[in-house]
Amino acid sequence: MSTPAGQVGSKRQTIDSVQRLSERLRAKHKGRITGELIVPARAGRYAPVPDALDTRLKNALAERGITQLYAHQREAWDAIRAGQHTVIVTPTASGKTLCYNLPVLQSALTGEAKALYLFPTKALSQDQVAEILELNQAGDLGVRAYTFDGDTPGDARKAVRTRGDIVVSNPDMLHQGILPHHTKWAQFFENLRYVVIDEMHTYRGVFGSHVANVIRRLRRICRFYGSDPRFVLCSATIANPGELAAQILGEEVHAITESGAPSGEKHLLLWNPPVINADLGIRASARSQATRIARTAVRAGMKTIIFAQTRLMVEVLTKYLKDVFDKDPRKPPRVSAYRGGYLPTERRATEKKLRSGSIDCVIATSALELGVDIGSLDVCVLNGYPGTIAGTWQRLGRAGRRRRTALGVLIATSQPLDQYIVRNPEFFLGASPEHARIDPDQLLILLDHVRCAAFELPFREGERFGGDNLLEMLEYLQEEGIVHPEGDTWHWSADSYPANAVSLRSVAEGNFVVIDISEGGQTIVAEVDYASAPMTIYEGAIYLVQASPYQVEKLDWEGRKAFVRKTRADYYTDAIDYTKLKILENFEHSSGERAETARGEVHLVRRISGYKKIRYYTHENIGYGNINLPDQEMHTTAVWWQVRPAVLEAAFENRQQALDGFLGAAYAMHHVAALATMSEPHDLGRAVGDGDAKWFATVGANGRGQIRSFEGGELSPDAPEQTGGRFRPALFLYDNYPGGVGLSAPLYDRRAEVVAKAREMVHACDCLYGCPACVGPILASDEVRGYSPKTAALLVLDLFGAGDR
């Protein structure tokens, strides 16, 4: 929740304390700091409260100490009242909430106008209702604001529909719980004047493409009821807010991008962990550096937040800091974890403690990147580069709210993208945020929502829905027995309820519940989304909640339940997965004398085969376990590179060397491609295989490439009968979403640049044989192998480059 203009934190922090910590870190660890930036404090720009504002609202603002607005709040008032769709893009804690609350509350007080607020998470929805209730109470407004989500009791839902002036929900509930039942919401839709979409920057990729289609369906139903609401969108900083808002709405949007809010001084340090093995290029872990900085900050009395990239890393960091600050169980905890999968009551309790200042350090995933009000923090530590410049600044903005001076530290992992950022600080400090990309007309996504829309209202001849040929899609659905034509109208004719079968966020629906069966009871302690379940709650896994270990004893895949028992394990577990791809169709092709590149459709199979047991602190591997779960399959699009067989045989002394070269090149190209396509690394996948799904390659425990099949285990690259009679590896970079979300086309267009920059990155690395900063984790030097994996990767990249000239 954004802090309203004029509201100041109850406790002012002096600039000196942050400066002292910053100077201490620079003096003690000068060699680890590769870049620094001081963003000076900024004075506010103000504008008068509008004369037209209802007296009751003016009084409510005055009760909260707000006698004037920030300049961007007044600009938003003017644009929204003039009937313009508007997007507001200003920093964290700049008062975006008031930008839409004022015009919405004004309309609710002076007419029958209703509003729908959409937030990506339930926590944000509850924050928003609390904010409206505070204004309500301050001005005795009488505006009725309710949340409507999966937690809303059945007996309360009718009251929300019929009495709510402001209904606060999320895109998933709009998709599955409101639009298919629009007849029950007729009164609401007839009077709907405003739709607010907050945290717009989260609506990118597959999720954003789905949400854009949900908005198409919403506007279609509004037209049916005779309303045409104005849309107000809010976003963290991205490169293309106006473009993204226009894609979501299908109309031009007025963009407000200059903040009038004051802000405190911000210090930013880019931090590269020290090298501990120069020959292998191995650095100290980002994890060790994050805990060191957090310990220093907390001991200096500073409220600290650490962002980690994965839920597992959140739990590991939480354990390490709890071992320091929460040794006495009789005292209230000073350290807490916050991530998806925790029960709502636990997350709300942590948020409340953060606001009250009773927690000194919180370790979180991106779940706390959004605008939940978590009070005033002094230090923000990023355990790894989030993958985008926009995401980095969004996380760093969580410290220094309410005009406090803040320190941010971005600690690089050994991943190539992280190393590129800290070794080229001018790139990060001078680059603009990334573009947010969506593809609402991606055929599979669009067809899903045409089904949903047909269920909600019949389609009429000449009606449009998206950019593709609607008539062709309706004729296809007719063949499937889902719709049928009557005159110029297409009616729904199936028994199914289509919205239930369409998940906005993933390829499959249904969360798993984690049930603690210790001491004979059955208590739900967490939830795990479908996509994460195979990697986290397999039988034998150690599942962590607030760093407390539970061992998974049984996984009921069909029933979506994992049964766990408390344990005292001194290790955590990490799953091992394999991926194989089969080329189905070639869309584009570029051929050279040595190599060729293509883009097309592929079928992907992912198997979670086993897990490692990793001891705390030493991080040594102390054992393995097998996992027996269903394979996960999807169709998507990919770009792939291959070297002509004769060229490959002539270039390398043996196939093992070539295999290591391909795996190293894939590692480097994956990270460069994420930068080139302005996407996040997890949006793209990488794989090395033969293209016919007969075999795939992976890095073994000995640091060498291995050829494997799903059926027969490890194969020999030098045994033609095992590899289908030929050895022609393909390097795949694929769109990591079912059907693709449009990343493979720009990647293919920039294929030469990706190869060239990957070669430049590997060549410039200081290591001798290859390392996690260039070609991946290497566990054996060239004296053991007889060759350098780094040199092998460079040779593969040379062949790719020569093949595309």
Helix H, strand E, coil C: the string for 393-454 is HHHHCCCCCCCCCEEEEEECCCCHHHHHHHHCHHHHHHCCCCCCCCCCCCHHHHHHHHHHHH
Instruction: Report how far residue 386's alpha carbon sits from residue 403's, in angstroms, rounded to the nearest whole number.
Output: 24
Domain end point (choices 477, 501, 525): 501
Residue 676 lies in a domain: yes
Tokens for 570, please give them. 């001194």
In single-letter form, the type of residue at position 374 comes to I
In single-letter form, the type of residue at position 705 comes to G
Check if the beta carbon of residue 576 is closer than 8 Å to that of residue 610. Answer: yes
Q: Which residues of the chain have pLDDT under 50?
A: 1-14, 507-508, 780-781, 805
Are 647 and 662 members of one domain?
A: yes
How many residues appear in the chain? Answer: 805
Residue 543 lies in a domain: yes
Q: What is the pLDDT of residue 71?
A: 96
Residue 8 lies in a domain: no
Backbone angles phi and psi of 181, in degrees to 5 = -115, 35
Residue 580 lies in a domain: yes
Q: Count the alpha carbons within 13 Å of 2 in the hemisphere toward its beta carbon.
A: 26
Number of domains in the chain: 5
Secondary structure of 579-609 in HEC code, one letter for each residue: EEEEEEEEEEEEECCCEEEEEEEEEEEEEEE
How far from 437 is each of 87, 92, 202, CA to CA, in Å? Answer: 16, 22, 10
pTM of the model: 0.78
Where is 803: in which H helix or E strand? helix 789-803
CB atoms within 10 A of CB 204: 23
Task: Show the domain range for 32.
Answer: 15-39+263-426
Instruction: Report how far residue 163's alpha carbon sits from residue 142's, in angstroms, rounded to the nearest whole number.
Output: 12
Tokens for 214, please give them. 């949900």
CATH number at residue 203: 3.40.50.300
Instruction: Report how far residue 58's alpha carbon sits from residue 60's, in angstroms, rounded to the nearest whole number.
Output: 5
Could you tell me what percentage of the chain is helix, strand and coil, using 3-state DSSP and rounding each to the nearest 5?
40, 25, 35
Are 527 and 583 members of one domain?
A: no
Q: What is the pLDDT of residue 220?
A: 97
Are 544 and 496 members of one domain?
A: no
Q: Which of 54, 135, 45 is nearest to 98 (CA)?
A: 135
Are 217 and 108 members of one domain?
A: yes
Over residues 721-756, the pLDDT tens digits come to 555 556 889 999 998 877 776 788 889 999 999 999
Where is 707: in which H helix or E strand? strand 705-709
Q: Count the alpha carbons within 13 Å of 250 in the hemisphere toward its beta carbon.
A: 17
Q: What is the pLDDT of residue 401?
A: 65
Strands 145-147 and 166-169: parallel
Check if the beta carbon of residue 594 is closer than 8 Å to that of residue 803. Answer: yes
Are 579 and 565 members of one domain?
A: no
Tokens for 555, please give them. 């996984």
Domain end point (choices 256, 287, 304): 256
Tokens for 773, please give them. 């900063």
Residue 438 lies in a domain: no
Instruction: Report how far residue 370's alpha carbon sits from residue 395's, in angstroms, rounded to the nearest whole number.
Output: 8
Q: Which of 139, 206, 136 is nearest to 165 (CA)?
A: 136
Backbone angles phi and psi of 611, in degrees to 5 = -145, 155
Are 234 and 299 members of one domain?
A: no
Residue 99 lies in a domain: yes
Q: What is the pLDDT of residue 702?
A: 66
Residue 437 lies in a domain: no
Residue 673 lies in a domain: yes
Are 793 and 743 members of one domain?
A: yes
DSSP state of 524: E
Three-state secondary-structure class, residue 267: strand
How far from 91 is each of 393, 683, 772, 788, 794, CA to CA, in Å? Answer: 9, 25, 34, 47, 42
Q: What is the pLDDT of residue 5?
A: 40
Q: Which of 777, 775, 780 is nearest to 790 (CA)?
A: 775
Are 183 and 318 members of one domain?
A: no
How far from 95 is each of 5, 245, 540, 669, 710, CA to CA, in Å? Answer: 6, 20, 47, 41, 54
Are 200 and 223 members of one domain?
A: yes
Check if the beta carbon of residue 304 is closer than 8 Å to that of residue 298. Answer: yes
Are 471 and 392 members of one domain?
A: no
Instruction: Report how far residue 632's alpha carbon sits from residue 630's, in angstroms, rounded to the nearest whole number.
Output: 6
Instruction: Report how far residue 379's alpha carbon sits from residue 391's, in angstroms, rounded to the nearest whole number.
Output: 17
Are 113 and 234 members of one domain?
A: yes
Are 658 and 562 members of one domain?
A: no
Rounded (5°) CA angle 181-187-188: 75
In single-letter form, the type of residue at position 355 comes to R
Domain end point (choices 205, 230, 256): 256
Instruction: Report how far residue 143's alpha carbon sits from residue 137's, in angstroms, rounded to the nearest whole number.
Output: 10
